[in-house]
Amino acid sequence: MRLQLAKQLLDRQIVDADGRLVGRVDDIAFAVDADGHPYVDCLLTGQGALGQRIDGWIGRLLVAVADRFTDDPPVPPLRVPLAQVARLDSAVRLRCPASELPPSPVESWLRRHLVDRIPGSHRASG
């Protein structure tokens, strides 16, 4: 059976176990096992991954914007291990809540430098 991963995975929403949106599948990372067979290691999401996939000046712009809003560029994409994928339907459904995934560097920067400075932002319900 031949799988077309790009058609099956790219640009699908990633939804955590609680139904919260994590992002979209922007790229796919492969690894090679001990026998030399490639396999899908993780799904990548984030502006950096999308920018590298798109390429050209639009891709470079996405990467530059993501790098601008981080403390330590270049921005690595959020890596969602394939083991965390529960099922694939209209979205990629995860086994875990988003809180168990590494935080997005861009979202962390924006929270520290912008959102946390808004009066009352710490009282917002989550």
Q: How does pLDDT run across 78-110, given as a tens digit for each residue?
A: 889 999 999 999 999 999 998 888 777 767 777
User: What domains lie within the chain, and their CATH numbers?
Assistant: 5-123 (2.30.30.240)
Q: Which sign, positive or negative, has the C-alpha torsion 56, 57, 58, 62?
A: positive
pLDDT at 85: 93
pLDDT tens per residue, range 8-36:
888 899 999 999 998 899 899 999 999 99
Token couple for 110: 């924006």
pLDDT band at 114 (very low <50, low <70, confident <90, very high): confident
pLDDT above 60: residue 1:
no
Contacts of 77 (CB under 8 A, 6+ apart): 26, 27, 44, 45, 46, 48, 49
Nearest to 51 by CA among 66, 68, 35: 66
Q: How many C-beta atoms lie closer than 10 Å to residue 45's C-beta?
A: 23
Nearest to 15 by CA among 86, 70, 65, 82: 86
In the block, tokens 């099922």 appear at 87
Nearest to 40 by CA among 12, 5, 2: 5
